[in-house]
Chain A
Amino acid sequence: AQKVTQAQTEISVVEKEDVTLDCVYETRDTTYYLFWYKQPPSGELVFLIRRNSFDEQNEISGRYSWNFQKSTSSFNFTITASQVVDSAVYFCALSGQGAQKLVFGQGTRLTINP
């Protein structure tokens, strides 16, 4: 069975602080993909990043960075110099072998206070 765990239910920080959202996954598949999605207060789900299991390179996109570590089955997401507009619920998800469906974590509600 596949599972994604986001242990942090809620995080609250002050603007300009750095914040890391944790994601731990379980799968027996040797090939899989990991995703992060953002759900702002307006409600839609916005795709942020996809990473395949063969590529452990970290990725940086502006203030966002992702740290994929296969050894610890983690795919953590860091926002540097957070801004109020980053306030949202963030979901980590997994797509395993033989299927296109995504298994989502429970989400982390991030609040950035001015």
Chain B
Amino acid sequence: LAKTTQPISMDSYEGQEVNITCSHNNIATNDYITWYQQFPSQGPRFIIQGYKTKVTNEVASLFIPADRKSSTLSLPRVSLSDTAVYYCLVGGRADTNAGKSTFGDGTTLTVKP
């Protein structure tokens, strides 16, 4: 299983850009990197997924260096509603890989006014 390591917590202020880094030194060749967001009393929800270089969608960007041993989730201009726990997950994109990736303890992001 690809183990991931993230900072336990981060603080930011409204309007700032936030970068959360995840380490995954034993990532496999066919593994993708996926980030999830979880609000209190809710299940996690998908934010972004990528394999290499940079991926951008309407809510975030994901930067993956060439060696793929880490990744950085970038949240532009955060607001109070972005206060949540963010999880990095490494695994394959197929049902045959189900259960072969694990959620770590995540990063608790607190956005202050």
A and B from one assembly? no
